[in-house]
Amino acid sequence: MKGLFSALLVPFNENGELIEQGLREIVRQNIEVQKVDGLYVNGSSGENFMLSTEQKKQIFRIVSEENNGAVKLIAQVGSVNLNEAVELGQYATELGYDSLSAVTPFYYKFTFEEIKSYYETIIEATGNNMIIYAIPFLTGVSMSMAQFDELFQNEKVIGVKYTDGNFYLLERLRKRYPDKLIYSGFDEMLIYGAISGVDGAIGSTYNINGQRARQIWDLCQEGKITEAYEVQHVTNDLIEKVLDLGLYQTLKEVLNVKGYQAGTVKKPMASMDESKKAAVAQLVKDFNL
């Protein structure tokens, strides 16, 4: 379960319907072109929180079929609706996903005891492993060391997707829990996670820039930090341009330019402005994507 995981993009048509063949193509290119070690399915990059339960199940099934055991699969099943999270967790477990993951419940100001109960309920109902998805800048939920201590007491909680800029807490977690999996969640800070001893990383830009992410990762493992920084600089130049043009719209348009059926984003997100498509095509050339 160590290594680099793409936070999988999901293609939709203008009516918000899943493009099945496009999803299969994106899965294959992540495995065969980007050379990732695994796929993180139905996370933020998959526009998960705008999907119906049935759409989420459809995505889990198609990805499992297309992957066919090639790489590790993590199913993000988190939801403010706990019954849905359990249903999705059971379904992904039946499909053979290697682990579940769940974002901390958000919007309402849940207490830590409520958050802990949420994870315990999903684990008990599925019997599967759980990777906590900590992303405080989107959920508003920041967990302390003492709270991670409580969650990690459950042997089924095998790790955390750590999308947080608090590198002091990351260092403390790494030292105290050498046997738990810690995944870095910020693509633009991969190098800092790597030199802090994380076990891997999960990123949306790996769908198009996985090869550079692999270079950064491998160089850090070899202690070649100066060289790794050079690749991170290029990666961050790319990320800046992607963010300027629109994150998910641009990632999908890059894949469209390269001949994959990546479709568009799901409303209420706005489709890519036609005037920006030439800039995306130039991005593909400039960064040899």
Mean pLDDT of the 216-239 span: 98
Whether residue 280 is contained in a domain is answered as no
> Do the domain assignments include residue 61?
yes
pLDDT of amino acid 85:
98
Residue 179 located in a structural domain: yes
What are the pLDDT digits (tens) for 129-164? 999 999 886 787 788 999 999 999 999 999 999 999
Is there a catalytic annotation at residue 156?
Answer: no
Which residue in 128, 122, 121 sits closest to 98, CA to CA? Answer: 128
In a domain, 211, yes or no: yes
Helix, strand, coil shares, percent, the chain, to 5: 55, 15, 30
Q: Estimate the crossing angle of helix 20-32 against helix 206-221, to 10 degrees.
A: 20
The pLDDT of 188-214, averaged and rounded, is 98
Q: What is the pLDDT of residues 7-25, one digit of tens each?
A: 999 999 999 999 999 999 9
Section 47-59 average pLDDT: 98
**Alpha carbons 71 and 224: distance in angstroms, whole number:** 27
Task: Find the catalytic residue in 161, 180, 252, 266.
Answer: 161
Q: Are 146 and 169 spatial neighbours (Cβ–Cβ below 8 Å)?
A: no
pTM comes to 0.97
* Binding positions: 44-45, 163, 185, 187-188, 204
Q: Is residue 273 part of a domain?
A: no
Residue 274 domain-assigned (yes or no): no
Domain count, the chain: 1
User: Residue 86 falls within a domain, yes or no?
Assistant: yes
| CA nearest to 122, candidates 153, 150, 83 | 83
- Catalytically annotated residue among 91, 133, 162, 206: 133
In-domain check, residue 77: yes
List binding-site positions for aceneuramate.
Answer: 44-45, 163, 185, 187-188, 204
| Greatest CA separation for the chain | 52
Measured between alpha carbons, how far is residue 267 from residues 40, 49, 126, 159, 254 in Å?
Answer: 22, 11, 31, 32, 19
Residue 203: which pLDDT band, with cuts at 50, 70 and 90?
A: very high
Query: Can you give the pLDDT at residue 136?
Result: 82
Alpha helices, H only, the chain: 20-32, 53-67, 82-95, 112-126, 136-139, 145-152, 167-176, 190-195, 206-221, 225-245, 247-257, 277-286
Q: What is the pLDDT of residues 58-71, one digit of tens each?
A: 999 999 999 999 99
Determine which of 131-140, 146-155, 180-189, 200-209 has the lowest per-residue pLDDT on average: 131-140
CATH number of domain containing 133: 3.20.20.70
Determine whether 40 is an active site residue. Answer: no
Distance CA 280, CA 243 (A): 11
Q: How far apart are CA 59 and CA 76, in angstroms?
A: 11
End-to-end CA distance of the chain: 26
* Contact criterion met (CB below 8 Å) for 83 and 77: no
Tell me which residue range forms the domain holding 220: 3-225
